[in-house]
């Protein structure tokens, strides 16, 4: 590696090919010393952007200054910019997760409230209605099975389930919740 910018000029034009050949390894070292979290793609992008920025600003370069100081400065700025973008993206993603979690918490709270209302309704029912409710909703038994187990007619089970659902619906609506049979 040569020292000054003037050593990399041919007829007053910057010899970018020569600079890339001699300084690519140096740019990689600067990047690696600054960050371990960048992907290989990000590193490659920063290396090529470093030489692009150098070329774009070739008219502003002072002939007597060291080329390595320009390259190191450009590289450091590009690494910082990339890390800042990654941090901003990470913060936004973290925020989205928090929003999703808050929504889940709200839904869980609402479900608990509904369950509490339904439990209070069930507690106020007759013993046979409680059994029908539990067998149907908690044990997932069919109407026919419930009728056989409780020694009542299927029609009686259907009627009682209809009345239970109607009571639950009415109470949920009264408490400000919509009733859905999911």
Contact 161, 181 (CB under 8 A): no
pLDDT at 181: 54
Question: For residues 98 and 94, what is the distance between their CA atoms, to the nearest angstrom?
Answer: 6
Domain residue spans of the chain: 5-93, 125-174
Give the residue carrying structure tokens 């209809």.
162
Sign of CA dihedral 137, 139, 140, 142: negative
Question: For residues 158 and 118, what is the distance between their CA atoms, to the nearest angstrom?
Answer: 19
Residue 47 per-residue DSSP state? H
Q: Which of 104, 13, 115 is nearest to 55 (CA)?
A: 13
Contact 38, 46 (CB under 8 A): yes
Helix (H) or strand (E) holding 10: strand 9-10
Beta bridge partners of 13: 10
Class of domain 5-93: mainly alpha
pLDDT at 113: 84
Helix (H) or strand (E) holding 140: none
Helix/strand/coil percent split, the chain, to 5:
75, 5, 20
Contact 75, 46 (CB under 8 A): yes
pLDDT at 16: 80
pLDDT at 90: 57
Question: pLDDT per position in the chain (182 positions), as tens?
Answer: 557 778 878 877 888 888 888 888 888 888 888 776 788 888 889 889 988 888 888 888 888 888 888 888 888 888 888 888 776 655 555 555 555 555 566 677 778 888 888 888 888 999 999 999 888 988 888 999 999 999 999 999 999 999 988 988 888 888 777 655 54
Give the residue carrying structure tokens 């000054």.
4
Give the residue carrying structure tokens 């973290």.
94
């Amino acid at each position: 590696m040569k020292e000054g910018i003037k050593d990399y000029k041919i007829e007053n034009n910057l010899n970018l090919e020569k600079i890339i050949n001699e300084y690519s390894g140096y740019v990689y070292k600067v990047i690696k010393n600054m960050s371990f979290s960048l992907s290989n793609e990000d590193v490659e992008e920063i290396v090529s952007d470093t030489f692009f920025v150098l070329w774009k600003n070739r008219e502003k370069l002072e002939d007597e200054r060291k080329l390595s100081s320009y390259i190191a400065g450009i590289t450091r700025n590009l690494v910082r910019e990339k890390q800042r973008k990654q941090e901003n993206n990470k913060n936004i993603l973290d925020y989205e997760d928090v929003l999703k979690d808050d929504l889940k918490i709200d839904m869980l709270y609402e479900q608990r409230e509904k369950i509490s209302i339904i439990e209070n309704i069930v507690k106020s029912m007759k013993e046979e209605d409680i059994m029908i409710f539990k067998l149907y909703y908690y044990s997932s038994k069919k109407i026919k099975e419930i009728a056989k187990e409780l020694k009542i007619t299927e029609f009686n089970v259907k009627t009682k389930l209809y009345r239970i659902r109607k009571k639950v619906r009415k109470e949920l609506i009264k408490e400000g919740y919509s009733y859905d049979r999911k």
